[in-house]
Every structure is written in structure tokens, then in C-alpha cells.
A and B are shown apart, each in its own frame.
Chain A
């Protein structure tokens, strides 16, 4: 075994060198959030009575529980833990992607082969990627726990939540390691890993929502994300619930190793399919090529948006009804416009989240241009009778239209499930389709920014992701941190009318569209003038 692991240390150092900015960034960013939430809650609801009111009115609502996870008790710690529920998903996601990036992506790019010829053990690559990610997750958990302790929360609860974060990361690091052994392409390995993570999230969401609505939460027990939140940090910690997560971590790694040992370098378990010997007649233009390159992405995002919309829509009515059971709240609600108003407020919040997610699609699709350029695949196309604008327009069209399609199907799915629950399909589908499509201009602003960076500052094109993360953080933390309106106004999503239920104002939508158009247009002009490739 020791020969199989030879060189692992060197690979870990190489990975650390390559991730020297990214890794500390996500570890720190995620680790400080629970502490921030805790101190905010302590300031907002200093007394237990106030916190109990928040739990009864908001935190215990099935829609909130579906999004964030269950609430255990009314202590500051419990509130902070629930608010941090999304972090479990994010840690799992990053861990999954990190392992695949350091295993299959390296192998597909051929860099693994270069190293494989040195004194490197058969298991060194996988081990190094797993060790790196496990260590990062552990550090993240410890830092998050330390942060919670510094805001005067009990040590046991802080450690329990830190452990939940760590184990969530570990499980999906191992699953990433396993997925990386199955396919020959890093893209399909990521697809498999993301499908597993998506399933885990949906199971947890459905189980938690059912439990909060008074039903059985057994579905959550099928999901690793459900396990880790059932550690019940700050509410009589149940440490043993960490065991299934640890077992799955070990199991997935234990399955991955023999596959990694038996298969050839570059090969997978699932056989690569062969393609057509002759191209279809339509594959004859830059737009057709762009469609071919983007269609998998579009399909994935459309399916994801549909699933997300359907689930979030299906719990929206339960959100209203849970309030209806409480006579005092129901009376307040009735004065505010009935329980439907609460459902609408919830759905409007949901649509902002869907909009942000789809903006990720817009940025990803726009940056396909940069991927094509740096991989050397733009050059042969541009050496054909294809002008710069025509090449870019093919990708741009899909980056502009794709998110609209994804938002539309997401909105329709939300409307269908919410309409089925309330018996008003014909009314809700158009309402929620509208609520989804109203996000389009904000999504386009980020897409346009990505195109602008690609054209004018190609080496900095990745900063579009930072802009998206900034919008996400402004939306999540802006109000909590009491930032000024000018700061919130930086995010295009701040200017989107809150639908359903809110008023539609056309001017901001028009302005955002104009901004997006100017960004994209400037990007095209800059791209026409610059050298290709800029690497």
C-alpha cells in the first residue's frame, strides 16, 4: 500500500499551490457566516420570548424549513444553525467539485499522465485530492465552531455544528472521488456528483417540509444532508447521527479505490460512446456549433430549474396554511391580505433565489467563450470564414436565451405545483411564469458583464463569478449587516420587482436590460479588436 501512495505528499503540495487563493477563500468565507448570523440574531431577538415568536412565525414555517432545514429550539445557537442550513449544501458542493477538479479534470487534461510517469503511486492522485479536501473541510468546521464560541455560544453546540459542516463536506468529497472514477470526462463526473447532491437536497427538502407540516420526515433520513442537520446542534446534541455520514464517507472512498487501482489511466468504468462518422447537415455554422456545445448545459439547467421550482412551489401552500393554524397570526395575515399574501411573499423570495441560480447559468454560458479560447478551440473556427462577431454571437445568443428558457420552465413548474395545491392551476401558472421571467433583466446584466470582461479583460473574465457571489452576499447579508441602500443597489436583483404580489415597475427592468446590452455590446467591440488567443 505504501508504494501505491508514493508521492502523495508532493501532490498535496502541488494542489495547495494551485488552490492557494481559492481554498482559503471559501474556507474562511463559509466559516465566518454562522458566527455572523448568531450575532445578528442575538442583536435582533435578545429575549427568549422574541425568539420563540420568530420560531413560531417564521423559522418553523414549512417553506423556511424546506429551504434551510428544521429548527430545533429557540436559542440563539439554534436560530443561527438553521439560518446556516444552506452552508451544508454549499460545503458539500465545493468539496465535490474540488475532488473532481484535482482528479478527473487533471487526468482528462493529460497533466496526470505527466506526473504518472514520475515516482508516483497508483493511489496518490485520489488520496491527495481527498486528503486536501478532508483537511479543508475539517479546518472549516473547526473555524466555524471557534467563531460560534467567540459569540458566547455553548462549546458543545458549536462543535456539533462544525462537525456537521465537516461531515457534509467529507461525504461529498468521497462521492466526488467515486464519480471521478466512473467516467472519462470531468464534465460527466461532475454531472453524476451533482445529480447525487441534488437528490440529497431534494430528499432533505421534502422530508423536512413534511415534518414541519406535521407529517413524517423519513425522507430526510435518506439524505446525507438530512443526517448532518439532525445532529441538533445547540439542542441536546445527538452525536451518533454523525456516524452514518462518516460511514458513507468511508464507503464511497472504499469503492473508489479499487476502481482507481484497476482501471487504465484516462479510462472510466462507463464506456465512452462513439459518435457519428459524418456531421449532421445542420452542423455548419458557428451558431450550430454553439448550440451543440451549449445544449447539455441548457438541458441540465432546465431540469434543475424545473425540479427546484416544483419543490419550492409545492411547499408554498403549506407555508400559508401553517400560519392559518395559528389564530392570532391568521388574523394579522387576514388583515394583510390573507394567507395567500404570505405564500406570495415566500414565492417572491424563492424567485430571487432561482434568479440568482440562473444568473450562474448565464455567466457559465457566457464564459464558454473563454473556455473555447484558452483550450485553443476558438482558433480553428476563427481561421475558417467566420468573423469575430459571428463566432461570439453564437455563444452570446445561447447565453442570453438559455437562462430565459430555464427561468420560464422553472416558473411554470412552480406555478403548476403551487396551483395544484391551491386548486388554481390556470391562475397560478401565468402568475409564477411572470414572477420568474421578471428576473431575466438582472440575469442578463451578469451575462453582459461576463461578455464585457471576456472582450476587454479576458484574463479577468473569471471575475464575473465574483460579481455573482457579490450579488448573492448582498441579497443574503445586506439587510442583516444593515448596509446602506447604495450598497444594495449595486446588485441588479435589488431592482427587480418582488413578484408575485408586488407591483410591476417597467422602468428598472428596461434600465437593467439597457445596461446588459451596453455591457455585451462593449464586450463584442473589444473582442473584435483584440488578439486571439490571449492566454
Chain B
């Protein structure tokens, strides 16, 4: 089985609000898949459908080869989930919650549990009500990462963690990937996505607007070029794929579609290049283009 999650045309309505509007999502087994989108785009709704908590109104969803609603119990033995806002029972200690959640999905590895507690610097003796937001999140992460499961579903798991703990988190996700686990990581932190994810799906208004590897997505974007030439730019602006040419004396700035970069550079070297800076599209630009207008 090479796909862990296969979702197509998924629709979910809450009254008159359409939270998912024909969502497609494919997560290959063994990959870390980034799931991105602005607030309210439908990420958590999609995850809850995959967990069999919400019932889809239309479309198909397969999880680890099973039906997320019908086979929920059997499937949940093979996955672990961390919600974006972990809430704990006020009178249970963090250690008790970790053990309980682990046992409810079929046990966890005590050695790994101890290792994770140490790495995340979490005191398991505190009662649920005494933890800060970040520490509640750690409780959820330790419970999930200490479980021996095939699939990790993480819904903005690092909200409230400090940068040091972010490092620890990334280390353990890579570890999980090395062990052959599949990870669906919903996130807002672009650096985290860039560092961890093999492929990403960007969702907006309940639909997937982009899906592929980061390299693929970058490829669709433009590179910014800032160049100082020996002479006038000539017909640069007329080359295919070149946009927004701004000329200040000998200094020229423009954007170019990545496939047209080669032709543009040939043109420039023909004139004579004195200095050159090329900037690949940043992830921020990539995402902002998709996020903008999402709040219509």
C-alpha cells in the first residue's frame, strides 16, 4: 500500500457553512506531508473527518486502506493524533494522560516515553490545570510520538512551543520518518514545513489549491533578479517570461518565470554583467499568493 491517506471530492457542511468543498488530498506512505492553509480553510475539519469524528456529506476518504467512519476503532490503533489545542483533564497529571492516551490506542514504548519527556523537558507530575499552553501541547506530543503507530496526524502541533522545543519536535518527526512512519502535518510555521515536509498541500476555502513537492511549487514561481549591466538592457522586457522590468540607469530589476531564467541570463551576459543577485521565490511569497483573498 503506497498511499496512507486518499481523499477526493470531500464535502462537509455545517448548517449553511461549507467547510470542505470538494477537497482532494493524497498522502503517500512514509512521507511527511505538509497541510497548509489560512485559518478557517478547513484543515481541522478535514482531519476530523479522517479521524471518523465528523461524517462527510459527500466524497471519498480512505485512511490506511480503511473507511475512516466505519473502521474508526481498528484504524485508530494504527495512528496517533495531536490536536491543535490540547486540553487536559484538570485533575489528571500529565504522566497519567500520556499513559492513558497511549494505552487507549494499544500501548506505548516506556523507554521512548522517558526519552521524550527528557527531550521536551516536561514534568509529568503536574496536574492538567497547572500546565501552560506549550506544556499541554508537549503532553499531546509525547503521548503521540511514544506510540508505535504507522501514521501520525498532527494538527498545528507546535503552537505555543518555544524555538528550542521546535527543534526537538523536528528531530522527533525526522526520527519517525526514518522509522518508516507517515506524517500528516498541518502547520502555519513555514520554516517547519520547509525543514520537514516532502510534499505539501495548500488548502483554501475547503479546496486544495496546490499540491506537490516544495521544489515543484517553487518551480511555478518567479525568480527576482537584480543586475548591474555594462550597457542598456536592449530587448530584455520583450523576452518571454520576463515581468516587471524596472530600469534605474545601468541597474535593472525584474522578475522571471523560473523556466525562462536561462534565456534571460544569456541575454544579460551578451550585454555584460557587472554584478548579479538572483533570489529564488521565498516560501512566504508562495503561500501568501494562495492565502490572499482567502478571507473573502
Contact flag A274-B126 (CB < 8 Å), given A283-B96, A293-B89, A385-B105: yes
Q: Return chain A residues, CB-CB under 8 Å to B241.
A: none
Contact flag A387-B81 (CB < 8 Å), given A275-B95, A278-B99, A377-B89: no
Binding-face segment, B50-58, B156-164, B256-264, B271-279: B50-58
A380 with B86: CB separation less than 8 A: yes
Q: Is B269 an interface residue (CB 8 A)?
A: no
Q: Return chain B residues, CB-CB under 8 Å to A414.
A: none
Interchain nearest-CB distance for A190 vs B (Å): 13
Sample of 18 further A-B pairs with CB below 8 A, known A380-B86, A383-B81: A185-B91, A187-B91, A275-B95, A275-B125, A277-B124, A278-B99, A278-B124, A279-B103, A283-B96, A284-B100, A286-B104, A292-B89, A377-B88, A379-B83, A382-B53, A383-B53, A385-B73, A532-B48
A278 to B94, CA, bound (A): 9
Q: Is A276 an interface residue (CB 8 A)?
A: yes
Q: Return chain B residues, CB-CB under 8 Å to A273.
A: 127
Q: Is B129 an interface residue (CB 8 A)?
A: yes
Choose among A278, A285, A529 the residue that contacts B95 (Cβ–Cβ < 8 A).
Answer: A278
Q: Is A272 an interface residue (CB 8 A)?
A: yes
Q: Return chain B residues, CB-CB under 8 Å to A376.
A: 83, 85, 87
Q: Which residue of A lies closest to B78 (CB)?
A: A385
A387 with B124: CB separation less than 8 A: no
Contact flag A385-B92 (CB < 8 Å), given A272-B129, A284-B100, A289-B100: no
- Contact code string B22-63 (vs A, CB < 8 Å = 1, else 0): 000000000000000000000000001001111100000000
Q: Return chain A residues, CB-CB under 8 Å to B81.
A: 380, 383
- Contact code string A60-96 (vs B, CB < 8 Å = 1, else 0): 0000000000000000000000000000000000000
Choose among B93, B98, B105 the residue that contacts A274 (Cβ–Cβ < 8 A).
Answer: B93
Interface centre among B81, B86, B103 (most CB of A within 10 A): B103
Q: Is B77 an interface residue (CB 8 A)?
A: yes
Contact flag A277-B93 (CB < 8 Å), given A387-B72, A533-B53: yes
A366 to B101, CA, bound (A): 22
A380 with B89: CB separation less than 8 A: no
Interchain nearest-CB distance for A89 vs B (Å): 28
Q: Which residue of B lies closest to A380 (CB)?
A: B101
A283 to B87, CA, bound (A): 18
Q: Return chain B residues, CB-CB under 8 Å to A530.
A: 55
B95 with A279: CB separation less than 8 A: yes
Q: Return chain A residues, CB-CB under 8 Å to B97.
A: 279
B95 with A386: CB separation less than 8 A: no
Q: Is A108 an interface residue (CB 8 A)?
A: yes
A484 to B89, CA, bound (A): 47
Q: Is B231 an interface residue (CB 8 A)?
A: no
Q: Return chain B residues, CB-CB under 8 Å to A387.
A: 72-73
Q: Return chain B residues, CB-CB under 8 Å to A381.
A: 101, 104
B101 with A385: CB separation less than 8 A: no
A292 with B92: CB separation less than 8 A: yes
Contact flag A276-B95 (CB < 8 Å), given A284-B100, A386-B104, A532-B54: yes
Q: Which residue of B lies closest to A374 (CB)?
A: B87
Q: Is A487 an interface residue (CB 8 A)?
A: no
Choose among A184, A286, A386, A529 the residue that contacts B129 (Cβ–Cβ < 8 A).
Answer: A184
- Contact code string A374-408 (vs B, CB < 8 Å = 1, else 0): 01110111111111000000000000000000000
Choose among B52, B72, B103, B127 the residue that contacts A275 (Cβ–Cβ < 8 A).
Answer: B127
B104 with A284: CB separation less than 8 A: yes
Q: Is A531 an interface residue (CB 8 A)?
A: yes
List 21 A-B residue pairs with CB atoms under 8 Å apart, sorted by A's residue number.
Answer: A108-B90, A108-B129, A185-B129, A274-B125, A275-B127, A276-B125, A279-B103, A280-B96, A283-B99, A292-B89, A293-B89, A375-B87, A376-B87, A379-B83, A380-B101, A381-B101, A381-B104, A384-B105, A385-B73, A387-B72, A531-B54
Interface centre among A277, A296, A531 (most CB of B within 10 A): A277
Q: Is B265 an interface residue (CB 8 A)?
A: no
Q: Is B245 an interface residue (CB 8 A)?
A: no
Q: Return chain B residues, CB-CB under 8 Å to A272.
A: 127, 129-130
Q: Is B181 an interface residue (CB 8 A)?
A: no
Q: Which residue of B lies closest to A377 (CB)?
A: B87
- Contact code string A194-231 (vs B, CB < 8 Å = 1, else 0): 00000000000000000000000000000000000000
Q: Is B76 an interface residue (CB 8 A)?
A: yes
Q: Return chain A residues, CB-CB under 8 Å to B96.
A: 275-276, 278-280, 283
Q: Return chain A residues, CB-CB under 8 Å to B92.
A: 275, 292
Q: Return chain B residues, CB-CB under 8 Å to A185.
A: 90-91, 129
Interface centre among A108, A187, A296, A532 (most CB of B within 10 A): A532
Chain B residues within 8 Å of chain A by Cβ, number: 41
A383 with B51: CB separation less than 8 A: yes
B140 with A380: CB separation less than 8 A: yes
A283 with B126: CB separation less than 8 A: no
- Contact code string A262-278 (vs B, CB < 8 Å = 1, else 0): 00000000001111111
- Contact code string A456-473 (vs B, CB < 8 Å = 1, else 0): 000000000000000000
Q: Return chain A residues, CB-CB under 8 Å to B91.
A: 185, 187, 275, 293, 296
Choose among A108, A276, A529 the residue that contacts B93 (Cβ–Cβ < 8 A).
Answer: A276
B124 with A284: CB separation less than 8 A: no
State the 8 A-B residue pairs at the shortest beta-carbon distance, nearest first.
Answer: A275-B93, A384-B104, A279-B99, A279-B96, A284-B103, A383-B81, A277-B95, A376-B87
A385 with B104: CB separation less than 8 A: yes
Q: Return chain A residues, CB-CB under 8 Å to B85.
A: 376
Q: Return chain B residues, CB-CB under 8 Å to A383.
A: 51, 53, 76, 79, 81
Q: Return chain A residues, CB-CB under 8 Å to B95.
A: 275-279
Interchain nearest-CB distance for B16 vs A (Å): 15
Q: Which residue of B lies closest to A184 (CB)?
A: B129
A289 to B101, CA, bound (A): 10
Interchain nearest-CB distance for A10 vs B (Å): 26
Q: Is B288 an interface residue (CB 8 A)?
A: no
Q: Return chain B residues, CB-CB under 8 Å to A274.
A: 93, 125-127
A289 to B130, CA, bound (A): 19
Q: Is B230 an interface residue (CB 8 A)?
A: no
Interchain nearest-CB distance for A457 vs B (Å): 15
- Contact code string A500-535 (vs B, CB < 8 Å = 1, else 0): 000000000000000000000000000001111100
- Contact code string A252-265 (vs B, CB < 8 Å = 1, else 0): 00000000000000
B90 with A187: CB separation less than 8 A: yes
Q: Which residue of B lies closest to A273 (CB)?
A: B127
Contact flag A532-B104 (CB < 8 Å), given A185-B90, A383-B81, A385-B73: no
Q: Which residue of B lies closest to A376 (CB)?
A: B87
B53 with A279: CB separation less than 8 A: no
Interchain nearest-CB distance for A524 vs B (Å): 16
A274 to B76, CA, bound (A): 31
Q: Return chain A residues, CB-CB under 8 Å to B126.
A: 274-275
